Structure 1
Amino acid sequence: MSARIDLTGQKFGRLTVIEPHGHSKNGNQRWLCQCKCGNMKVVDGYRLRHGTTLSCGCLRNEVSRYHLLTNEKTREQIGCIESLKSTWHPKSTDLRSANKSGVTGVNFDTFQNKWIARLYWKGSYRLNRSFRNKGDAIQARLDCEKQYLD
Structure 2
Amino acid sequence: MRKWSMTNGSRPLPNFVVLNFLEQLCYGLLHAHACLIAHLDMKFDNALLDGSIPSSGDERLPLIKIGDWGLSRKLSSPFEHAANWKYSAHEAPELSQGVVGLSADMWSLGRMLYKLLKGGSFRPERNVDVSALDLSEM
- Higher RCO (Cα < 8 Å, 6 or more apart): 2
Higher radius of gyration, 1 or 2: 1
Question: Which of the two has greater strand per residue?
Answer: 1
Shorter chain as normaliser: what TM range? under 0.3
**Larger helix fraction of residues:** 2
